[in-house]
Amino acid sequence: MKPISVLLVDNSLEFLHVATAFLSMIPQVAVVGTAGSGLEGLRLTVELRPDLVLMDLIMPGMNGLEATKMIKRQVTPPKVVILTLYDIPEYRAAAAAAGVDGFLDKAKFTEGLLPLIRDVLAPLPHDDDVDAD
């Protein structure tokens, strides 16, 4: 099975490093790029054509909602999941209006991301689905 290609977009270099290291431990996922701004994320989405974009909500310049709106206008857009430290109803509503496919509080990143990817993209094999032969 081909790994799910992921683009990480966040203005925090520390978060990009931590998230890349975490995702590299998941065999079904391949990080194909990182971007430090919404504008760079938009450019890399067109260039790399990832299956999934993990997008920070609040960034200087073009924020995650603006970038998501533009990404979702592509002919075959990737899925977009918003990652944020600010999980409040107003931001969830704005994200839904922008066309995001998922929303995750960064505080729940390690335990919540893989189940969210499964829900958003398609079934990834669960550990109990793997044949032990």
Domain boundaries, the chain: 4-87+99-123
Q: What is the average per-residue pLDDT within 35-41?
A: 96
Decide if pLDDT at 100 tops 60: yes
- Assess whether pLDDT exceeds 50 at residue 34: yes
Q: Which CATH architecture describes the domain 4-87+99-123?
A: 3-Layer(aba) Sandwich (3.40)
The pLDDT value given to residue 121: 81
| Measured CA distances, 90 to 15, 75, 78, 80, 86 (Å) | 24, 28, 24, 18, 10
pTM: 0.88
Q: pLDDT value at position 122? A: 65
